[in-house]
Structure formats: structure tokens, C-alpha cells
Amino acid sequence: MATTTVSLPIATYDSIIDPDWCPGCGDFGVVKGLKMAAASLGIQPENLCTVSGIGCSSNLPGYVHAYGVHSLHGRAVAVASGIKFANHKLNVVITGGDGDGYGIGLGHFVHAMRRNLDLTYIVMNNQIYGLTTGQASPTTMKEVQTKSTPRGNVETPINPLALAIVSGATYVSRAFSGDPKHMADTIAGGIAHKGFALIDVFSPCVTYNKINTYPWFRKRVYRLEESSEYDPTNFQEALNRAYEWGDRIPLGLIYKDEQPTYEESEPALKEEPLAHQKLGLNEELFDSLVEEFV
């Protein structure tokens, strides 16, 4: 029997705390896009949990009225995985930056994708370390001068889309915070998808990245869905698009595959969430265990 989705007002997710990012930061658009996505899917705040690591963008959970965890640098995926294991009925959304996700947190990122955990990861990719005032990040383009690369960056930037595709992510997409409606639709698609979903968002840092600006992206980005010939289920074609960079940069759904999630494959998680299952301990034994570890 088909279910009917009842959308909610965006104000449902308004926090009592206002964002304190730099005026013009792309992350303002991302928090709005997440709220728009959750509202369109009719997700109640008590059924949504946002998890972040460290960085400017990682303040996001405090700006959304829902469950939220501001965790450790590079450990957002690990914390989110634990939350999902405990209650796989929750919609768990990870929010962070390119330094947190593609740098120190890269190992967790890859393993969550190969397991196809039912998580949504929104990475605000500004191609710079903003919180620590302008050092080169894993996605900074070659030859770009930053505080840590005054003679130009000599490192090849990571390709998060290609990495996600070959690592087992089953929903790989890209958005631009300068196109909020399209971004919200892309995020909603990732949340609705069963499996690991990556939404790599171009979120310009107006303070420390003077190259990858809003005008720079607007001249180059285009929507993949405007081409009726593109098939996001084609693995090789998705990889080709993931490597497209320069005068034209694709936005939208890059790759999608339907595979069993970890939660569907693990016997202990097939029934109701672990958080709702009975421990199978009597009161005396439970109290003795608590006393032992407290």
C-alpha cells in the first residue's frame, strides 16, 4: 500500500540559536536546504538526527531543531554509524566540511560507504580550511596559494565523487549552495534513498577562498538532469562525470544503485531497532552491571 507524504513547514526545524557564520558563507544555504528537504519529506524533528565533526560547517546541528551531536574532528561518520546501529529507524544526516570529511575522517568515510550504511552525508566543500583561517584542504586545487601553500598547492586534490562511487556509496550527488532549491531536492533524494548517500555541496568560503567563489561556480555548473540521455545507474558514465572539472562541472545525481543496506543484512538489526529491543536481563543483573561500570 502506497504511503502519502505530508510536508511540514520549514519553520518546524528552526532552532533557538542563529548561525554565526561569516556574512555570505555558503553554509547558510545548506542549513536552509536541509530544512527544506526534511520538510518536503515530512520528517518530524524527533525522527531526524544531525551529526557533525569539527569546522565552521560542523556547527550546523545547533541550528536545526532536531536531535544533534557535535562530535570530534573526523569522527562524525563513526558517531553517526553508532547512532544508526542503535536506532536504524532514525533519519541520520551527517554534516561537515571537506577538511573534516575528506581529510582526517577519510577512513571512516570509506568504510561507511563499503558497508552501505543508510546514512546521508552532506559535505560543505569550500576547498579551504576556513575555521583555521585559510590553509589548503584535501580539495584545494593545484597551484592555489593559501596560508599553508604560499608558493602554490603541489598536492593533487581528492575527487570525492569518484571515491564514493568506487567505494560502494549507492547515492552520489553534487549541489551548489548558490542554487538552494536544486540543492534541497538533491538532499531530499539522498535522505529518501536507502543506503549511503553523499551530497558534495559547493559552499563558497567568502572570507578565505577568493578563487572558488559564487561567480566562479555559476559560470561552470550545470544540472545533469537537464540531459535526457544521462543515466545515473551507469557506473562507468558516472565515473566519467565525476572527473568532469573545468569549464563545465556537473550538479545533481551522479550515481545511484539499489543494494541491500547494512541494516537490512545484519540479523540483529532486521527486527526493531536495538534501542527498542529488550535486554533480556532481570532487574537484579541489570543493576549489578550498572554498579560494576559506574
Please check whether residue 4 lies inside any domain of the structure. no
C-alpha distances in Å from residue 249, one per residue of 27, 212, 218: 20, 12, 10
- pLDDT at position 280 is 82
Please check whether residue 5 lies inside any domain of the structure. no
What total number of domains does the chain contain? Answer: 1
User: Could you give the CA distance from residue 201 to residue 173 in angstroms, rounded to a whole number?
Assistant: 9
Please check whether residue 1 lies inside any domain of the structure. no
User: Could you give the CA distance from residue 287 to residue 40 in angstroms, rounded to a whole number?
Assistant: 44
> What CATH code is carried by the domain that includes residue 126?
3.40.50.970
Please check whether residue 63 lies inside any domain of the structure. yes
Please check whether residue 112 lies inside any domain of the structure. yes
Please check whether residue 34 lies inside any domain of the structure. yes
Contact between 170 and 87 (Cβ < 8 Å)? no
pLDDT tens, residue by residue, 131-185: 999 999 999 999 999 999 999 999 999 999 999 999 999 999 999 999 999 999 9
- pLDDT at position 142 is 97
**Per-residue pLDDT in tens (0 to 9) along the chain, 294 residues:** 556 678 999 999 999 999 999 999 999 999 999 999 999 999 999 999 999 999 999 999 999 999 999 999 999 999 999 999 999 999 999 999 999 999 999 999 999 999 999 999 999 999 999 999 999 999 999 999 999 999 999 999 999 999 999 999 999 999 999 999 999 999 999 999 999 999 999 999 999 999 999 999 999 999 999 988 999 999 999 999 999 999 999 999 999 999 999 999 999 888 788 888 887 888 899 899 999 988
C-alpha distances in Å from residue 169, one per residue of 36, 153, 178, 243: 24, 29, 25, 16
Question: Which residue range is the domain that position 225 belongs to?
Answer: 10-293
